[in-house]
Amino acid sequence: MRKLSTVLLAGLVVTAGAGAALAADKTEISVSRFFGACEADYGSVTDVTKANGECGIITALINKFNAESTTTTVKPEIVEWPGYDQLTARIRSGEPPVISVMHEAVISDYSSRGLLEPLDEDFAKAGIDVNDMTDAARQGVTKDGKIYAMPFDTHTWLWHINLNLFKQAGLVDEAGKPILPKSTDELFAQAAQFKEKTGKPYFISTLANETAFYTRTFDTLLYQQNADFFADPNKVNFSSPEAKGALQLLADIYSKDLTTKNQDYAASVSSFAAGDGGVFICGTWLIDTYDQEAKKDGALANGYAVTAFPQIYPGSPRVWADGHSWVLLKQDLSDAQRASAIEFMKFLWDNNYEWSRTGHLPIRKSIIDSDQFKNLPHRADIASLAVNGTALPSAVKRQFSIQDIEGEEVGSAMRGDKSVDQALTDAETRINELLANAK
Amino acid sequence: MTDVTLSPGKATAAVKRPTGASIGPRWSNALFVAPYLAFYLALLVYPLFKGIWMSMLQSDMFDDTSKFAGLANYYRLFNDKVFIGSVWNTIWFVVMTVPAFVAIGLLLALALNRSDRTSATLRAIFFGTSVLSVTIVTIIWKMMYMPGNGAIAGIMRFFGMEPLAFTTTASLALPAIAITTVWWIIGLPMMLFLAALQQIPGELYEAAALDNASRWRSFWSITMPSIRRTLLVVVIYEIVAQFQLFGQALLLTQGGPNNASRPIVLFIYEQGFRSWNLGYAAAASEILFIIMAVAALAQFFASRKRVEE
């Protein structure tokens, strides 16, 4: 009996030792990302099809990779969105992560200083066909003729709609589709009708502690009027009648109480789910979350719709867009680390469909054209975004700082803290000052 | 012990340098202060001068080809409406918080300067907030300030009032940050005042009581003069600390709305880490250093003059 126990114990020790040795043999790479933390819900989920939402899907994807890879362990490092202050500090102190998520709008700031590794050769060796990238994705990650990132998605600005409240407001057609404005006059008329019938504001907006809503909505309204406000990438032009009209529109929406006020991102996201308003202007990443919400009892039950930002100016249906991507930070990496980093990027490339379930547009033509993608909920309603999504010209430097300044000034005018003219002048002055001193 | 004989004529030759405690410099003693001095030079003096030098460069975070710009960054700062706004915001914040720290800290110390169990518990509770991180503090106060479901909004609605949007109203954002800050770190001035109050001999109050002095009279004639130095320490410490407002503003309001709550340190952070404009950020840092030094020195000399009078 004692011998048997000894043998079993020895077997256990050997098995545990072998397991530890195997784990130790795997190369660990750090991956810095935002998208939130949801270990409590998805910490052990490796079946990605069972995950929902940005956080759930990326967590499950990394879990799956770690479970399947025999050579690499990805150690996720979760940062607060957008995370560039932290990334900058880590690069400056010589301790960057191996891989980081990065908006395509900011890649050129880092690549132009030699802080990112070009990836063309690695992608070719790994069998990643860059010709399968969508035009938007490929343009987004290509700087000075080289590919500096693995694109992950294209995301844009759209309208999430509470159909139940729209029905109550009489803003649904015979086919059950929401009736949307085609001009600014229609917008105010429908918003007033909605408020009168439901007692709730037409819009839910993220107006507190964040500038993204202001910038992305304002840019969209400018694109719709064909205003080329960055004709010169070193100088912004907000002194056009189009800019004044767009900002006055936002200020009127606020002053006429057609939107919720003082809500930060978290509050506005849950406010829409709770049925506090008809339209939530936000991004593609919430489609899956709200679609799941519509399957439950609640304010959105069987009553969620989503649409591209309606064209309310007679110029163009274009809308603000950007993309998430994964970059390899320049540092002294061993061959094994670099190989592991490319292995993880290849895994993300192969699983891009799973990420597109969030609501983001995929970055592979083969996935966009697939029935699997087309059959996802609401994708037909936003198909036009693949064509109409518009980013700032890549030659414009410091795009995130510009978005912050623009958002601050647009917000000041929208809330009535300063006049429309003053806000446009201040935005133009501050951005041009920034660009004049940007290398 | 050397026996020294001072006979005439031989005095000079016979006098020897005394041993034991040496007279004159003994440089080996410098070894005692050398570690501190090394760290002081490396971590304070060198960065100070490096910062001054950087403020005269046109350089960014990742560019090694900085060029000398003289006072151009300072000139640009004084024409930057956002920076000027941040200076006034910071001064206004110091004006709001430092008197509050002194007054509330002293009141709490006077009220809790007793040895019973209730006072000890309350002292621990009031000091307890000081150990929280700025992240926790701002999360708590965000929940307080939220105009929709916030605690203050709930109280205001209970009394039939329209809730205020503290963090998104230009005139309320900075006072909201000031209230948060005072709640957060009122414990330290309270403890400093308590320590000072406990140093005052009880006989002084007994003598005053025998002379029928009122409590108010005892406070002004015994308590205040006795804690004068602590008062000075609290005021100067809080001036220096509150000029460095950063985390609360970043997490509660991000400097908004309309630049109404952006302090100088947040401006420096944004210029350095978001716009990568290190020279410009360094110049703003030097301005902050000068303002803090002037404010603290002015308070120090004003207090010393009052003491001498």
pLDDT digits (tens, 9 = 90+) for A64-97: 999 999 999 999 999 988 899 999 999 989 999 9
Q: Which amino acid is at A374?
A: K
Q: If phi over 0 gives left and psi between -120 and 50 gives alpha, with beta otherwise, what is residue B254?
A: left
Bridge partners (DSSP) listed for residue B68: B57
**Spatial distance between the Cα atoms of A182 and A189, rounded to a whole number of angstroms:** 11
Partner-chain residue, chosen from A89, A267, A437, that has the shortest CB–CB distance to B273? A89
Question: Which position has the higher pLDDT, B24 or A296?
Answer: A296
Partner-chain residue, chosen from A85, A209, A404, that has the shortest CB–CB distance to B273? A85
Residues in A touching B57 (Cβ below 8 Å): none
* DSSP symbol at B131: G
Cβ distance B95 to B103 under 8 Å? no
- Reported as a single tens digit per residue, the pLDDT across B191-235 is 999 999 999 999 999 999 999 999 999 999 999 999 999 999 999
Residues in B touching A84 (Cβ below 8 Å): 274
Question: Do A2-151+324-386 and A156-321+391-436 have matching folds?
Answer: yes
Q: Do B81 and A426 touch (CB under 8 A)?
A: yes
Query: What average pLDDT score do residues A11-36 get?
Result: 72
Residue B47 has a pLDDT of 93
> Nearest residue of A to residue B66 by CA position?
A439
In whole angstroms, how far apart are CA A104 and each of A5, A325, A346, A353, B54? 59, 6, 18, 19, 31
- Judging by beta carbons within 10 Å of its beta carbon (0-12, 13-18, 19+), is residue A360 exposed, middle or buried? buried
Partner-chain residue, chosen from A115, A400, A415, that has the shortest CB–CB distance to B62? A115
| Domain range summary for chain A, segments of one domain joined by + | 2-151+324-386, 156-321+391-436
Architecture of domain A2-151+324-386: 3-Layer(aba) Sandwich (3.40)
- Reported as a single tens digit per residue, the pLDDT across A244-294 is 999 999 999 999 999 999 888 989 999 999 999 999 999 999 998 999 999
Disruptive mutation site among B63, B79, B274 for chain A (greatest number of A CBs within 10 Å): B274
Chain B contact for A422, CB < 8 A? no
Chain B contact for A89, CB < 8 A? yes
**Spatial distance between the Cα atoms of B44 and B38, rounded to a whole number of angstroms:** 10
The answer to whether the complex's ipTM is over 0.90 is no
Options 3.40.50.300, 3.40.50.970, 3.40.190.10, 3.30.720.200; CATH of A156-321+391-436: 3.40.190.10
Check if CATH label 1.10.230.10 holds for domain B80-308.
no
- Reported as a single tens digit per residue, the pLDDT across A358-382 is 999 999 999 998 999 999 999 888 8
| Domain range summary for chain B, segments of one domain joined by + | 80-308
Residue B3 has a pLDDT of 45
What mean pLDDT is reported for chain B?
88
Angle at A432 between CA A429 and CA A433, to 5 degrees: 80
Angstroms from B135 CA to nearest CA on chain A = 12
Q: Do B165 and A263 touch (CB under 8 A)?
A: no
Residue B2 has a pLDDT of 42
Query: What average pLDDT score do residues B25-45 get?
Result: 91
pLDDT at B66 over 90: no
Q: Do B276 and A88 touch (CB under 8 A)?
A: yes
Between strands A324-328 and A319-322, the pairing is unpaired
Cβ distance A331 to A96 under 8 Å? yes
Query: What average pLDDT score do residues B159-181 get?
Result: 93
**Spatial distance between the Cα atoms of B58 and B292, rounded to a whole number of angstroms:** 25
B274 — pLDDT class (breaks 50, 70, 90)? confident
pLDDT at A19 over 70: no
Partner-chain residue, chosen from B60, B82, B273, that has the shortest CB–CB distance to A439? B60
B67 — pLDDT class (breaks 50, 70, 90)? confident
**Spatial distance between the Cα atoms of A337 and A122, rounded to a whole number of angstroms:** 13
Residue B6 has a pLDDT of 45
Q: Do A85 and B274 touch (CB under 8 A)?
A: yes
**By percentage, how much of chain A surpasses pLDDT 90?**
79
3-state percent breakdown (helix, strand, coil) of chain A, nearest 5: 50, 15, 35
Type and span of the H or E element at A106: helix A104-111
- Reported as a single tens digit per residue, the pLDDT across A183-193 is 999 999 999 99
Q: Do B168 and A208 touch (CB under 8 A)?
A: yes
Chain B contact for A205, CB < 8 A? no
Query: pTM for this one?
Result: 0.85
**Spatial distance between the Cα atoms of B249 and B175, rounded to a whole number of angstroms:** 11
- Reported as a single tens digit per residue, the pLDDT across B146-169 is 887 789 999 999 999 988 999 989
